[in-house]
Amino acid sequence: MAVIALNCPDIRVCVVDLSADQINAWNSDNLPIYEPGLFEVVKKARGRNLFFSTDIDAEILNADLIFISVNTPTKTSGIGAGKAANIKNCELCARKIAEVANGPKIVVEKSTVPVRTADAVRRVLMANEKGINFQVLSNPEFLAEGTAIADLQNPGRVLIGGMQNPQGKAATEKLVEVYAHWIPREKILTTSLWSSELSKLVANAFLAQRVSSINSISALCEATDADVSEVSKALSFDDRIGSKFLTASVGFGGSCFQKDVLNLVYICQSIGLQEVADYWYQVIKINDYQKHRFMRNMLQRMFNTVTGKRIAILGFAFKKDTGDTRESPALFVVKDLLEEGAKLRVYDPQVTREQMFQEFSYTCGINDETKPGLTTTDMVLTMSDAYTACEGVHAIAILTEWDEFKTLDYQRIYNSMAKPAFIFDGRSIVDSSELRKIGFEVYCIGKPVVKDQFI
């Protein structure tokens, strides 16, 4: 919404939320999320044509277009638990709009939703007793956290789905006109509602599939002394494959990939396409395998025990340039290490201690009740910088590819660590040969194991 406001000074944009704390944060210089370039965009448009408010009813009445941008988490109980998306929040928004609106509105799904959710939203809206006509559009985002502002300013495409009748096409054109303020028309694609909804799920599933594909090959490379980065480079020269999403890692995370693949799996299962569901579920299985494999390798290399050993965790966000910890691979590696009795020292430049423990509790069910002493002992300490986190530890696990981790003074770090000093690089960002010269025992995802590095 901030980017729309920035590029459309003639359009009033207001973001509303039930949470006064969230709205107060958006109206301050301390935004509730970290995204490079976001603050500058908000600051430029805020107060001009970009506003943040808790007065939901008033803004519904004033709006011509209403975007539904709410969370659609994976269900944790009931039918479809663990796979299906919970669209309760979308329905609640539709009911609120139907209750408050006093004239025709165009309602736009921005949330990632299961195919045909727009039908449910439309039925709720059209059940209003005031005879008001609503048009429902689908307008999914294809941005990536960490590069979201650039992705929105210069998108590969904008996708808008609407009903294929005169009223639906007219509503679609209204939204096209908004984006046409800064995006060439040839990049604005219009489809049916159902194609638009499904395209978002499929796009994320294809990207997740690429990550799991190269991660599966990383395991093969380690077993055969091949180098996954060399394999990836060889693949990238094939125009049919390309170079994107071919970097092996400890696994994918974030709010979208796993949720959307699981949603796709559930949709396929629910309509009897079990073989298709099984195919896509393998993407998730490989991702889980990669995270656990990383930790098992740490355990094996550290003499089959980490009990009581201090381990530095460098990075907790699911990727660099974001503070988002949802489904972060670090979360699951840390969980496994805690179960083995390790003492962890965590540093991430954008993740707070409170946020980290909230994610532990929400995603893994780990808190002071289930793991006594989690927040009150030295079981997990959060540090203010990488050097403090690494001081006196037996091993370092690099779990987020923050640029600052590439340029650390590793000689200084080595001097402060217990020996032998281990580094486990889950993001392929360090120069392993240089670290071995310092004295580290280094293990990288998909890289040949140097068996004589200490002989």
The set of catalytic residues is 256
Count of Cβ atoms closer than 10 Å to residue 39 Cβ: 16
Task: Round the CA-based radius of gyration of the chain to a whole number and report it.
Answer: 24
Query: Residue-wise over 183-205: b if at least 16 C-beta within 10 A, else e?
Result: beeeebebbebeebbbbbbbbbb
Phi, psi of 322 (to 5 degrees): -150, 155
Decide: helix, strand or coil at residue 312.
Answer: strand
Alpha helices in 138-245 (DSSP H): 148-153, 166-179, 193-224, 228-236
Amino acid at 73: P
Phi, psi of 199 (to 5 degrees): -60, -40
Q: HSE (CB half, 13 Å, CA atoms) of 202?
A: 9
Residue 182 burial (C-beta neighbours within 10 Å; 0-12, 13-18, 19+): middle
* DSSP line for 319-341: STT----TT-HHHHHHHHHHHTT
